Structures are given as C-alpha cells and as structure tokens.
A and B are shown apart, each in its own frame.
Chain A
C-alpha cells in the first residue's frame, strides 16, 4: 500500500523527480511549470537528492545542458511550459536525433501570442513530430505515475528516445487532489540505475556524439528513430504492466471509459477526460450510451489500436485543445481519422477545437457535444466536421 497524500500536479511531478533522484536537472522557470524546478531546487538545497541542479539562463540552455549531461552518461531531467518549450525547439530535435533519453515534465500552456499563460495543448502539439515520446495525464496521480515509468521507457535499448510527460497547466498543475505515492525504496528499485552503453565520460571508449550527417547518412538515422518510436509501443506496455504489479494502477495506450456498450464517444486528452467521464455518467442516467476514449500515449500514436477501439461506435467527437490553423482540423482529429481510414473503419467523426488559452470547458458544453453526436448517429453522416466548442458567436 502506497502513501496517501494530497498534492498539486506540480508537487506530484517534483516529488516524482525527488524519488527518481536524477544526476542532473537543468531548468528555467516559466508559468505554470515554475514550481517544479522551484520545489526540486529545495530538495537539492536540503540534501534530499544528490542531483546537480543547473540554474540556466534560458530554456535553450536548459535543454542544451540536459543534452550535454545525458551524452556524458548522466540521467537528466527538466520541466517547462509553452514558450519555454518553444525556445528549446532547436535542442528538442538534437536531443531526440542524438538518441538521448532525457525526461521532461511539460505543463501544458498556450503558446503566445497574444500573451496567455493558461492551459491548452499548443506547446505539446508543436513538437509532436520531433521524435519525443509524449504521455498525457488526466490528473496529478497520472502525471506522477507517468514520470515514474518514464525512464524505464525512454532508456530501454530498443527505444533510446526522450520523453515528455504532459499535464494541464493550472487545471492540474495547481489543483490539490488526493494522490497515492509509491514508497521511495520501491521507486528506486523500479526506476533502476542508468547504465548507458555508449557515453562521453567512458574512459575505455572515446566517442563522438552528433557528428556531421549529410546526404549519405541522415535518412538512415531518421529511419532508426522511426523504428525506435515503433518499438516504444511494446516497451510502454511492458513497463506499464510492471507498474501495475507494483501499484495496482493499470495503464495502457488509452483508457476506454464505459465503451463496452457505448455508441457515441468523446476522444480527448489530459484533464478534460475527467469532465467527459462525469458528463457521460450524467447522460447514462438519461439512457444515452455515452463513452470516453482518453488518449494517454500520443507519441508513439497507437493508430491501429485506437481505430479498433472505435470500430463499433456510431458517432465520434475528437476534442483538440490546440488549433492546427490549417483549414482542416486539429492534430488529434487528423491522426484519429487517418488511423480509422487506414484500418478500414468508417464511423462519422467530428472535430471540436476547444478550451483555447485556458477557456473553461464545462460539463454542459460536453453534454452539447454528446447531443450533437446523437444527431449525427441518427443521420449517419457529418456535414460540418470542423467545429469549435466554447467560442463566442457562430462556430
């Protein structure tokens, strides 16, 4: 039995980092993730961890320091949000292409501008093709649990890719909720010690990291990265099974909520899943068979598994908390409809862009989405697939 606590999402992430006790943490403060390095630096000061904390002058330097540390053979972690991730962007690609399993806590916030500090997923969506594994978390418990599993996944020899654990800024990061922590010793044993096969500080093998990689080689290295991302699928499931054995908490690629008999379903990520589950329960009292599919693993994208999970639905709404501003729907919608098409599954599917810049998304709004799905179910087709939820005026 674990330790019962009540923590905010940021506290949960910082506690996970404390228990992991990485060799290096390099971070720069940015709302709403500021508290993570802030709490962590207090663990460094009071000697709870023996981590080298690098207080850098920017996020570009934070990711650069993590890359240097990880290449040297250390386990490195960081935390950021929004424009902090934007400033890291160049180094984000260097980290994944050099195959350095850095772990980041990403507290999702709208990327400016105009200036906004509240939650949406535009930061994470901006790096969805960068070769990082992306895990999403409904609440503080999942943000904590995903971080405990992160190194086992990222550092696996068949993977060797950096990983970010996402949680919703303020909604999760600053809300105090109940949580069950794992004992320090158990975490230490579960996460294990990092033993990289090749690293710069190995006196017995002198290596060069990140060399010039022109026309004859880059393609092959990118193909390897793509394979590593495919391999990550199995590794994520294996590590999640081990985690379940330790804690009893079950994690897969996604959570199917009340989907055994549902005929309409909302697909979403992070904290909105909580509101969607609540709403589905309200509707079930009225006899409406509503379900929720909550995506946990967004990269690698479990295309076939999601398509199969949605195969028996009559109407689907995919909720994107970031607009791709491409005249064709959000990133999650595109991935899901593509997955269904490729796997020969034809279900009327509609996209809602919602919650931009921290706009509150209520149960009443999600109920209106389910009502729309009931109509689509009866008509059997979608006339307007690109919709907005919660914006003022005509959507």
Chain B
C-alpha cells in the first residue's frame, strides 16, 4: 500500500490521515541526505574493538556474523559524529 503512494499520487488516493498500512516502514525513509558531514571508515586503523556501533543512534554501522563492523550505511547515517568521538584509534574521520 505505502509503496504505491508517492509525490505524484492524487489527493483522493492517499490514505486518510496519512496512516501507513504496514509496519517497519521507517526503513523506507532514507534520512542519510540530512547529513552535512560524513564519517569515513579507515579499515587499516580499525582494531574491531566494538565501541562505535552501539553508540550509533541510527544503526548505520553494520556488524557481520563474525562480529566485525563493516563500512557505513550512508542511507541512514545523519553524520552526527558520535562514532568518531568514541573511536580510540582514529579509524573514523569526519569529512
């Protein structure tokens, strides 16, 4: 239902009150374009200590099955810089 509604949808076809008839729809709202500064992941400096991903407010640092972090998910990273602050090894640079 939500997938079909976009900025071209006529007023008679949007849902009353803007109610969205399926759950988990926040995934479709890509807030990455709110970002004014961008964190860069320097994998050679990273020790995989695990301090960065728990502090990310947007869950934008993916962690794989080997419990290792991967590069940023820029679809949702708002560039707040909290991860760069907590990194003890200078492995995240804000640009």
Contact = CB atoms under 8 A, between A and B. Distances in A.
B11 A224 contact: yes
B18 A213 contact: yes
A247 B25 CA distance: 48
A228 B17 CA distance: 11
A208 B17 contact: no
B21 A224 contact: no
Given A206-B23, A208-B25, A223-B11, A160 B16 contact: yes
Interface stretch (A29-37, A81-89, A113-121, A214-222): A214-222
B3 interface: no
B19 interface: yes
Contact of A220 (B14, B21, B25): B14
A207 B10 contact: no
Contacts of B25: 208, 211
A219 B9 CA distance: 11
B14 A221 contact: yes
Contacts of A213: 18
A99 interface: yes
Contact of A211 (B6, B11, B12, B20): B20
B64 interface: no
Nearest to A218: B18
Contacts of A219: 11
A248 interface: no
A287 interface: no
Contact of A207 (B12, B22, B29): B22
A119 to B, nearest CB: 33
A216 B14 CA distance: 11
B21 A211 contact: no
B19 A220 contact: no
B7 interface: yes
Given A220-B10, A220-B11, A224-B11, A97 B23 contact: no
B29 A212 contact: yes
A220 B23 contact: no
Interface residues of A, number: 24
A209 B10 CA distance: 20
Interface in B64-86: none
Contacts of A160: 16-17
Contacts, number: 58
A229 B9 CA distance: 21
A91 B20 CA distance: 20
Given A223-B11, A224-B11, A99 B22 contact: no
Given A212-B29, A216-B7, A224 B22 contact: no
Nearest to B20: A208
Contact of B19 (A198, A216, A227): A198
B17 A207 contact: no
Contact of A99 (B9, B11, B16): B16
Contacts of B6: 216
A205 interface: yes
A210 interface: yes
Contacts of A221: 11, 14, 16-18
B22 to A, nearest CB: 7
A311 interface: no
B13 to A, nearest CB: 8
A288 interface: no
A207 B21 CA distance: 4
Interface string A222-248: 011001100000000000000000000
B17 A99 contact: yes
A209 B17 contact: yes
Counting chain B CB atoms within 10 Å of each CB, which of A160, A206, A208, A221 scores highest?
Answer: A208
Contact of B21 (A97, A198, A217, A227): A198
Interface of B: 6-7, 9-12, 14, 16-25, 29
14 contacts: A99-B17, A160-B16, A198-B21, A207-B22, A210-B18, A211-B20, A216-B7, A217-B18, A220-B10, A220-B11, A224-B11, A224-B16, A227-B11, A228-B16
Given A100-B17, A207-B20, 14 more contacts: A160-B16, A160-B17, A198-B19, A205-B21, A206-B22, A207-B22, A207-B23, A211-B18, A211-B20, A212-B29, A217-B14, A221-B14, A223-B11, A227-B12
